[in-house]
Amino acid sequence: MTAEISQETNPRRPLNRERILAAAVAVADDGGLDALTMRGLAEALDVEAMSLYYHVANKEALLDGVAEVVVEEILDEIADLPGATGADDWKEAMRSRILSARQVMLRHKWAPWVLESRTTMNGAVLRYYHGFLEIFRAGGMSYDLAHHAMHALGSRALGFSQELFDPSPGSDDEAVSEELFAQMATEIPLFLEFMEAVAHDDPEDQTLGWCDDKSEFEFALDLMLDGLDRLRIAG
């Protein structure tokens, strides 16, 4: 009886793996990966740290679970997308899936780090990749080419391409410090022209900075897909 009451009035619902993973995602979402500590997570669940260990073997296992949750979110996102029917639309089918995956990554900026640090695939990843296989096959690719394609896409298949030297958002430092740049001016003359040329390219659209994440991602993605398509046709 008291149990029933506390079930209803007490927010401390029983712990379980699912709740833990969901909370872990939430914690990372608004504190970054550094905030995702066992104690911190426990606190978010109004529980003691060691309680987590009954449901999750250790932190690695927690991250494995988190990775799966994220990929499942991708699967949800692409559930309604049309499949590929043949050679004409395989590229678009891939493209739409990957761009959907990217949306999920934008919601969970920390997720690339977690995914990259996993050493084993989970069921969600397997399902996700299987969808790609279906598309490749529908497009008429050999398994061999499909295999190469998967590797070539790499992390882009999951919607991200770890940008190098990306200043953390919120910090005001540039990818290259002005001093360093100035100091090396004679060694890297082309960079000066380069910066100017690229910056001028799109002067009104400065909100995105001169490296628009979205268009760079799509540029590279289309480059890959077009290249693969050519190889597909060449047979």
Partner DNA sequence: GAGCGTACTTGTACAATGTAAGGCTGTCAA
Partner DNA sequence: TTGACAGCCTTACATTGTACAAGTACGCTC
Residues that bind DNA (CB under 7 A): 2-3, 14-16, 34, 36-40, 42, 47-51, 53-55, 58-60
- Give the C-alpha separation, 40 to 37, whole Å: 5
Tokens of 211: 């490296």
CB 22 to its own copies: min, Å: 22
Q: Which does 114 bind (CB under 5 to 8 A by kind): its own copies, DNA, none?
A: none
State the minimum distance, in angstroms, from the CB of residue 27 to DNA: 11
Cα–Cα distance measured from residue 12 to residue 20, given in angstroms and rounded to the nearest whole number = 13
- Round to whole Å and give the CA distance between 90 and 138: 7
Provide the token pair at 72. Answer: 């499942």
In the 3-class helix/strand/coil scheme, how is 44-95 assigned residue by residue? HCCCCHHHHCCCCCCHHHHHHHHHHHHHHHHHHHHCCCCCCCCCCCHHHHHH
Question: Quick one: how far is CA 74 from the chain centroid?
Answer: 9
| Residue 220 structure tokens | 């590279």
Q: Which of 60, 180, 205, 208 binds its own copies (CB under 8 A)?
A: 180
Which residues within the stretch 122-141 sit at the binding site for its own copies (CB under 8 A)? 122-123, 125-127, 129-130, 133-134, 137
**Euclidean distance between CA atoms 33 and 24, whole angstroms:** 9
Report d(CA 137, CA 133) in Å as an integer. Answer: 6
- Residue among 29 and 134 whose Cβ is closer to its own copies: 134
Residue 18 binding its own copies, by CB under 8 A:
no
Residue 4 or 193: the one with the smaller Cβ distance to its own copies is 193
Q: State yes or no: residue 83 binds its own copies (CB under 8 A).
A: no
Give least dist CB 91 to DNA, A. 41
Exactly one of 26, 31, 87, 181 binds its own copies (CB under 8 A); that residue is: 181
Summarize as ranges the residues that interact with its own copies (CB under 8 A): 115-116, 118-123, 125-127, 129-130, 133-134, 137, 142-144, 146-148, 151-152, 154-155, 158, 161-168, 171, 173-177, 180-181, 184, 187-188, 190-191, 193-194, 197-198, 201, 211, 216, 219-220, 223-224, 226-228, 231
